[in-house]
């Protein structure tokens, strides 16, 4: 019998709890001196490095609007029809703007019932009334309809006919003066032929002043991203999303270092060369390089690190998040492509470590689940409020996805054992508004920059020094020897 000695060399993998950042001498007097501006992708920048995850229990229009107002961006999930996803994108784009380019309109012969329905559906308080030639002929607001009991009355009977309007090219300062002088809230913008070209509202101008840090596109609209899959209608979906204002497209697949993901990236880039494209998830430098060569503008890093992800348990595969970031950043720097850390972030300290390790931004899922802005209704259990939160590779998410992709397929002969979930469904405590969570994260990261002696994320990445800690060191980092109130 011949014995063969096998020697295995194991690479060490570290995650956020395994390390701390070494404090450095700081010139920062106040954390307000720090800047969190960063690159999301090759040509899109953010004022804060936070992205909400493209999960159906995290991001739809309400979350995307809240996050963009604070300087980040939300990625609308893809688990809906193309038209529904487009509507979610349009809600973000119409939520505030220098000029709303596609304001909601209605015809003069429509009924008040139809007008109320359109306003309720889209969460708006007024409609521009146009004739068959797209010319402005009136404006209808909730004040006109609030006490009307006959819902069959025509819009033309209740609308304001003498509408104060502005010409194309009117500046914000000029619009403010017109709104103030005429004591009105909505200012339609018309071209030289009297056709509706846009809408300026007093509410949008106030929002610009209330949210000076908001992340916006060149037209002054809030930034928003949207996810697509790697099968079926992804090209048609991408085209519709881009045509309706989506600023970035995210190729959404659990195992991003695969032929499916790489081929999808190539196809999208070939069809839409100017599209800002993000893809993932991967966990290695090689995976990063292959996606970059396929044409992505940013790479999403993280396999098995999410709070409801069980990929590592089910498949035995994954890389601890900090090591995955560091390996991917090395390749990202080579090609000047930003890296997004996706998963494993539970605190602002984790976020600071992810950024210090080289990622340009951080995608958040579970921390934003359970908020007012996340989709879904609140549940009450044992007197406490909760919201559902699930991984997109969970059993019911995968099952729902299969039925959406093959609506005509019969389930009679379907073996449910064919579904091997890599995520779980869970309930998370109700947390109130996401705004407070975002601001706590931003404040923590700003403090993290000051501890690293840095004014910017780039300076922190240059100054950062990690130290590995033991279990005792980890315990020492948390409150101990006291009863926390």
* 137-141 own/partner pairs: CB under 8 Å, 24+ apart: 137/108, 137/161, 138/108, 138/163, 139/163, 139/186, 139/188, 140/106, 140/115, 141/185, 141/186
Under CATH, which number does the domain 16-96+215-405+418-477 receive?
3.20.20.70
For residue 247, give the DSSP letter.
S
pLDDT score, position 414:
53
- pLDDT-based confidence at 3, cuts 50/70/90? low
Q: What are phi and psi of 186, to 5 degrees?
A: -125, 135
More confident residue, 256 or 102: 256
Number of alpha carbons in the 13 Å side-chain half-sphere of residue 357:
30
Ranking 136-140, 311-315, 420-424 by mean pLDDT, the lowest is 420-424
Tokens at residue 379, please? 């549940």
Contact call for residues 300 and 279 (beta carbons, < 8 A): yes
Number of alpha carbons in the 13 Å side-chain half-sphere of residue 217:
18
pLDDT score, position 393:
57
Taking the model in full, what pTM does it have?
0.84
Residue 425: exposed, middle, or buried by beta-carbon count in 10 A (0-12, 13-18, 19+)? middle
pLDDT score, position 395:
46
- Mode of pairing for the β-strands spanning 339-342 and 361-364: parallel
Give yes or no for a cis peptide into 281 (omega within 30° of 0).
yes
pLDDT score, position 394:
52
CA distance 109 to 132: 10
- Mode of pairing for the β-strands spanning 425-429 and 384-390: antiparallel
Domain limits, CATH 3.20.20.70, in the chain: 16-96+215-405+418-477
The closest of 245, 261, 242, 337 to 297, measured between CA atoms, is 337
Q: What's the Cα-to-Cα distance from 19 to each of 105, 271, 460, 465, 477, rounded to whole Å?
A: 56, 43, 16, 10, 11
Mean pLDDT of 76-103: 91
Binding site: residue ranges?
A: 252-254, 302-304, 306-307, 309, 342-344, 365-366, 389-393, 422, 476-478
What is the end-to-end Cα distance of the chain in Å, rounded?
66
Binding site for K(+): residue ranges?
A: 304, 306, 309, 476-478
Q: Which residues are catalytic?
A: 309, 402
CA distance 215 to 68: 5
> Which of left, alpha, beta for 443 (phi over 0: left; psi -120 to 50: alpha)?
alpha
For residue 228, give the DSSP letter.
E
pLDDT score, position 94:
87
Contact call for residues 445 and 352 (beta carbons, < 8 A): yes
- pLDDT-based confidence at 377, cuts 50/70/90? confident
Alpha helices, DSSP H, located in 258-347: 259-271, 285-294, 311-315, 321-335
Domain limits, CATH 3.10.580.10, in the chain: 105-210
pLDDT digits (tens, 9 = 90+) for 28-66: 888 888 999 999 999 999 999 999 999 989 999 999 999
The closest of 38, 155, 52, 165 to 99, measured between CA atoms, is 165
For residue 112, give the DSSP letter.
H
Contact call for residues 394 and 423 (beta carbons, < 8 A): yes
pLDDT digits (tens, 9 = 90+) for 127-184: 999 998 889 999 999 889 888 889 999 999 999 999 999 999 888 889 999 999 999 9
CA distance 24 to 57: 39
Topology annotation, domain 105-210: CBS-domain (3.10.580)
Ranking 94-103, 187-196, 278-287, 460-469 by mean pLDDT, the lowest is 94-103
Mean pLDDT, the chain, whole residue set = 89
């Amino acid at each position: 019998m011949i014995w063969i000695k096998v020697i295995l060399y194991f690479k060490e993998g570290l995650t956020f709890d395994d390390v701390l950042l070494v404090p450095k001498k700081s010139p920062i007097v106040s954390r307000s001196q720090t800047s969190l501006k960063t690159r999301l992708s090759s040509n899109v920048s953010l004022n804060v490095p936070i992205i909400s995850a493209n999960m159906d229990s995290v991001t739809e229009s309400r979350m995307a609007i809240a996050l963009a107002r604070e300087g980040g961006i939300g990625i609308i999930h893809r688990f809906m029809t193309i038209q529904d996803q487009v509507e979610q994108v349009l809600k973000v784009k119409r939520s505030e703007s220098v000029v709303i380019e596609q304001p909601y309109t209605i015809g003069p012969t429509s009924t008040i019932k139809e007008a109320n329905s359109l306003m309720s559906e889209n969460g708006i308080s007024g409609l521009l009334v146009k004739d068959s030639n797209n010319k402005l002929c009136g404006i209808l607001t909730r004040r006109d309809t609030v006490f009307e009991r006959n819902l069959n009355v025509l819009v033309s009977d209740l609308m304001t006919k003498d509408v104060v309007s502005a010409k194309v090219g009117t500046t914000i300062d000029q619009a403010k003066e017109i709104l103030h002088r005429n004591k009105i809230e909505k200012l339609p913008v018309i071209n030289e032929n009297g056709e509706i070209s846009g809408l300026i509202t007093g509410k949008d101008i106030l929002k610009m002043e209330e949210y000076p840090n908001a992340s916006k596109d060149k037209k002054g609209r809030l930034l928003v991203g949207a996810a697509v899959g790697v099968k079926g209608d992804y090209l048609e979906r991408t085209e519709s999303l881009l045509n309706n204002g989506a600023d970035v497209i995210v190729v959404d697949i659990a195992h991003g270092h695969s032929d499916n993901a790489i081929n999808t990236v190539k196809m999208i880039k070939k069809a839409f060369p100017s599209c800002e494209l993000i893809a993932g998830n991967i966990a290695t430098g090689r995976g990063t390089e292959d996606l970059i060569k396929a044409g992505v503008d940013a790479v999403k890093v993280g396999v098995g690190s999410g709070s409801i992800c069980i990929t590592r348990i089910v498949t035995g595969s994954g890389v601890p998040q900090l090591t995955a970031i560091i390996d991917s950043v090395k390749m990202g720097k080579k090609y000047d492509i930003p890296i997004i850390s996706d998963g494993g972030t539970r605190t602002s300290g984790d976020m600071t470590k992810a950024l210090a390790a080289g990622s340009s931004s951080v995608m958040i899922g579970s921390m934003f689940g359970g908020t007012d802005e996340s989709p879904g209704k609140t549940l009450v259990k044992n007197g406490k409020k909760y919201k559902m939160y699930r991984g997109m590779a969970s059993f019911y998410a995968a099952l729902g996805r299969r039925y959406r992709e093959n609506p005509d397929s019969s389930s009679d002969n379907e073996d449910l054992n064919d579904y091997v979930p890599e995520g779980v469904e869970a309930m998370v405590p109700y947390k109130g508004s996401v705004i407070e969570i975002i601001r706590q994260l931003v404040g923590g990261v700003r403090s993290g920059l000051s501890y690293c002696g840095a004014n910017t994320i780039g300076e922190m990445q240059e100054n950062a020094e990690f130290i590995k800690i033991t279990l005792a060191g980890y315990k020492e980092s948390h409150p101990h020897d006291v009863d926390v109130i």
